[in-house]
Amino acid sequence: MPIYNAPTKDIQFVLHDLLRVSEQDIPGFDELDADFTGAVVTEAGKVATEVLHPLNMIGDTEGCVLENSVVRTPTGFKDAFAQMKEGGWTAMDCDPDYGGQGLPYVMHTAAQEPFVSANMAFNMYQGLTHGAYSAIYAHGSDAQKQTYLPKLTTCEWTGTMNLTEPHCGTDLGLMRTRAVPQDDGSYRISGQKIFISAGEHDMADNIIHLVLAKISGGPEGIKGVSLFIVPKFLVNDDGSLGARNGVSVGKIEEKMGIHGNATCVMNYDDATGYLLGEEHKGMRAMFTMMNEARLGVGLQGYAQAESAYQNAVAYAKDRLQGRAVTGAQNPDGPADPLIVHPDIRRNLMDQKSFVEGARALTYWGAYLIDRAHRNKDAEADGLISLMTPVIKGFLTDKGFEYATAAQQVYGGHGYIEEWGMSQYARDARIAMIYEGANGIQALDLVGRKLAQDGGKHVMAFFEMIKTFIKENEANEALKKDFLDPLKAASKDLQAAGMYFMQNGMKNPNNALSGSYDFMHMMGHVCLGLMWARMAKAAMEALDSGATDKEFYKTKIATGRYYMARQLPATGMHLARINTGAETVMALDAANF
Amino acid sequence: MPIYNAPTKDIQFVLHDLLRVSEQDIPGFDELDADFTGAVVTEAGKVATEVLHPLNMIGDTEGCVLENSVVRTPTGFKDAFAQMKEGGWTAMDCDPDYGGQGLPYVMHTAAQEPFVSANMAFNMYQGLTHGAYSAIYAHGSDAQKQTYLPKLTTCEWTGTMNLTEPHCGTDLGLMRTRAVPQDDGSYRISGQKIFISAGEHDMADNIIHLVLAKISGGPEGIKGVSLFIVPKFLVNDDGSLGARNGVSVGKIEEKMGIHGNATCVMNYDDATGYLLGEEHKGMRAMFTMMNEARLGVGLQGYAQAESAYQNAVAYAKDRLQGRAVTGAQNPDGPADPLIVHPDIRRNLMDQKSFVEGARALTYWGAYLIDRAHRNKDAEADGLISLMTPVIKGFLTDKGFEYATAAQQVYGGHGYIEEWGMSQYARDARIAMIYEGANGIQALDLVGRKLAQDGGKHVMAFFEMIKTFIKENEANEALKKDFLDPLKAASKDLQAAGMYFMQNGMKNPNNALSGSYDFMHMMGHVCLGLMWARMAKAAMEALDSGATDKEFYKTKIATGRYYMARQLPATGMHLARINTGAETVMALDAANF
């Protein structure tokens, strides 16, 4: 049975040593002192360890079951969901006007991490609801907000996002679901949607489906797509539940992982829907939530790797195999623990240095979202918009890679479901696909975000790195192990950007053939920046006489590993990018 | 439902254009003309496509079931196994003295590929049997050979390998299974073995277990391990089956993949066993088969990627999403097929250029095994011994990576079991673990094989590359796109070897911390060498007026992709290696 314990100290380190949240000039951040955030994260960690994690394997084994149009969630999910509601965990960053606690998004993110690590499939019921909340909050009429938000805040009702159809996922312009306007201002929605997470289940009184559809007679393609609220049960004027709406679950999918979450085919058959936001502006409404939603998926990526890592470490300390090449470390035992072996360490350090860097990047992203929303800071908004595909794409690719690496530490036992390591890899796999497959993230980054606002945001990102390096160059310890590698990696990234500018004009395929490499390269530079900053923060803590010296020294050592061993990947990505489209596009489709 | 078609032309290209098998001065190779190998591979492909592949998903879905100590294989397996026996597919490279066809191992390998691609779990029943055949063939007494080999050749009886115990996998010196000598020369075997593939099933009359155990009173640790033949049913002197032996299946494991193969816990309770080979020389007996067994696992890695690739290509041609950035390619349709998009191509070219390079490396390895065995060629033996951990470790890591990449082409559908892409990834995952986890392959390569016979074999490998480059430098087309990148990559690999020599002496951890990177680096150099040779062969074919010009041009273009886009990974691995053990070993175990 796998273990999970929330890495509270690491989370606190990011919030306070790195981001210094309570010192930030952002409304609501003054509340976020170390005692408060520590209490919240500790409590979230307790719920994660005691309530959610024990249900993780149960959810995987039992899965969700569809019987007579009703979806039964795995044993224990219902009770656990009730505890999440009661504990107020679903309402943390929601607006107090609708029953929320009004806390910053970065606090919500820090509290979510343990839930996601402990039970990703379970936490999706709440995560999707939060997405629906955000969409209605941003685009709903006052009446819609009054009707839906209080119930979504508490998760008495849950939410879904309905985008994909059997024949179209990424290219939503091909959508066939139709909305026919009615005299009373509502619409009749008909069509089929697939891959609807939490589309139907037994843990809420009502399910609020947000559905993309085309209003008859509207523009062709993506410009004719609108967003609708389609409740499972219609809501009466007094807020009570009325008639069952024309929406039903067609089947639930058998998936590689996240078995505890019901992934549904949803059939809309003249269902009553209410326009959310403006006609034909459905994509814009979806995009509003995109940074948050994608950051949440990036978090899933590293959070699964964190869980897998904790177990790999425990196994590597416990399992006796072979002897250290430099002499027995456990001479009285029959063999040394796995953790003495350099290649096991290499593997564990890869995982550890990634996960801690990824956490810093994600929380920094959440902080930028707060700064953008609460301070109406356009620069922060531009920066998080640039970072979003990197956070989503890089952290989920690497999250899966390292969940798989953790599985490898177990040898044969890693392949046996009973040990739980396969589940981390299988669950993590979806994060590379949904909320925009990672190839689309790379396209978004290189095709849109780099040039956005005249390239202002990527320039600001490079400037930020340059300034940080300049300001700290006198710090010898930081310079050699952190600033110099960061400078080299950042130079590689800029060279790639330059290649795109010079060669993408004559043939855009020269840029797009390197988009995936660029996303990974930028991910490494981001984590390099995070590690340089964390190392600086740790050095400062040691200088100012922090008592927990081992913790800070470990941070620095872990960062040194990342800079020495992971950052050199940028050179490889640059070399690939610099070969352009020629070899990528050389073959006729028939010759594949 | 996924597709599979044997890549007969690609296989023939490796056998004839690259390896020129029929021209080799090795007994039995003169038979291997293009007509013969083409007929064999075509027929194997037919069996793979028509018989084995349709059972692949069934095997995954149904799995094996243990009821009343009997293991039931999935629907259709028994009939398919009968067809494999009848077709003589199990006997191809076995000794004619025992009913085999006596064909070279390279022919066996080429015929096996389609079976493994089509249904890896199914083919393991035969694969393990072949391993048992080889062990008894190499180490058995004449009587043992007469008793067991004819039945193993035909797969009337199947075989297993029993190494792992619950507390020891890699470190077999910790083994607890005991063998007590009896007056009649047999032994009583008692103990528990785990992860026994094909340990029990319903497709053979008898199962011949090869079991590692310690003879009471023998030396401690690995030096006291002997190998035993333990048949499920004892065999009477007339060859008929006698009493049921004291071996039984304890349970079958629930695994991430290869569900169609029964992975058993085997309990030996005073079972009658017969010493195979010499007392206390059990490990040596196992090692005899290791090169072949590990090459077979390397083949599993790329063979799964091949299957997954074929499906990804079909999907990318069929699925319409978005428009090519350079202008619509399917203007009359609602959208262009996925394959127009550069990042989809990048992904498919990664897969294609890997799989074809991996096939060349594997068949070259099989040819070296033939040369070593049939010509008693010590150099070939040394070379394949060096290559074995690379073939096993690199090809299975990359095979899994690209099976996962193929899954990604499907977007959300890749995560749904019904589409079959998850199975390729889940099945491929085991190949990184069994037959020596890949970390152990890296240790074997750097800790043993590099220095074997005074470093003679790795020197020969570098010399071979140097000579090839020198001999072909006048070929301009080859030089720029193939020889120059190969030279650079080979230089990186040599620099890494140099680093190990200079720094491994003072601290072996400096070498072992880079072992995994070295294995990957060498894998890239091997595939680079294969591609350079294949490109040369393709150019020669074009020059000599081959009719299928598109095929050869595609080969060259695919090779150019590998050299341009994959080979630069060596620089990253070298950079990692050059940082030595310091950051890898920095943390106390307690600080993980």
Q: pLDDT digit string (tens) for B120-134?
A: 999 999 999 999 999
Give me the catalytic one of A200, A356, A401, A435.
A435
- Is the distance from CB of A194 to CB of A177 less than 8 angstroms? no
Q: Does B328 touch chain A (CB under 8 A)?
A: no
CA distance B477 to B457: 30
Interface test mutation site (partner B, options A320, A323, A345, max chain B beta carbons within 10 A): A345
DSSP per-residue codes, A229-297 = EEESEEE-TTS-EEEEPSEEEEEE--BSS-TTS-EEEEEEEEEEEEE-SSTT-HHHHHHHTHHHHHHHH
Q: Which residue has the tokens 């224990």?
A: A76
pLDDT at A284: 86
Residue closest to B357 by CA, chosen among B18, B5, B8, B6 = B18
Q: Give residue-wise pLDDT tens across range B76-119.
A: 999 999 999 999 999 999 999 999 999 999 999 999 999 999 99
Q: What is the ipTM of this complex?
A: 0.97
Angstrom distances, CA of residue B16 to CA of A216, B21, B235 = 61, 6, 44
Helical H segments across B221-341, by residue range:
282-288, 290-318
Here the tokens at position B18 are 């690259």
Mean pLDDT of chain A: 97
Which of the residue ranges A198-202, B286-290, B562-566 would you say has the lowest mean pLDDT? B286-290
Option in A313, A434, A438 nearest B592 (CB): A313
User: Quick check: helix, strand or coil at residue B271?
Assistant: strand
Q: What is the pLDDT of residue A306?
A: 98
The minimal CB distance from B342 to the residues A254, A429, A584 is found for: A584
**Count of C-beta atoms within a 10 Å radius of residue A471:** 11
Which residues lie closer than 8 Å to A186 by C-beta, 6 or more apart? A272, A273, A274
pLDDT tens for each residue of B386-407: 999 999 999 999 999 999 999 9
* CA dihedral of residues B164, B169, B175, B178 (deg, nearest 10): 0
Residues of chain A positioned with their CB less than 8 A from the CB of B328: none
Smallest Cα–Cα separation from A383: which of A465, A263, A490?
A: A465
Give A250-305 pLDDT, tens digit per residue. 999 999 999 999 999 999 999 999 999 999 999 988 887 888 999 999 999 999 99
* pLDDT of A527 higher than 90: yes
| Segment holding A388, helix H or strand E | helix A378-409
The overall average pLDDT reported for chain B is 97
Give me the mean pLDDT over the B7-12 stretch. 98
Q: What is the mean pLDDT of residues B186-197?
A: 98
B53 by Cβ neighbours in 10 Å (0-12 / 13-18 / 19+) ranks as buried
A569 close to B (CB below 8 A): yes
pLDDT band at A170 (very low <50, low <70, confident <90, very high): confident
CB A160 within 8 A of CB A196: yes
* Contact B534/A at CB under 8 A: no
What is d(CA A312, CA B473) in angstroms, rounded to the nearest whole number?
A: 49
- CA A15, A17, A22, A24 torsion-angle sign: negative
B587 touches chain A (CB under 8 A): yes
pLDDT > 80? residue B269: yes
B587 closest CA partner among A449, A556, A146, A195: A556
What are the two backbone dihedrals, phi and then psi, of residue B302, each rounded to the nearest 5 degrees?
A: -75, -25
A121 Cβ under 8 Å from any chain B Cβ: no
Q: Is the distance from CB of A268 to CB of A192 less than 8 angstroms?
A: yes
Q: What's the pTM? A: 0.98
HSE-up of B504 (CA within 13 Å, CB side)?
A: 19
| SS3 label, residue B2 | coil
Please report the pLDDT score of residue B284 as a whole number: 86
Min Cα separation A590/chain B (Å): 9
Contacts of A447 in chain B (CB under 8 A): 325
CB distance B440 to B270 below 8 Å:
no
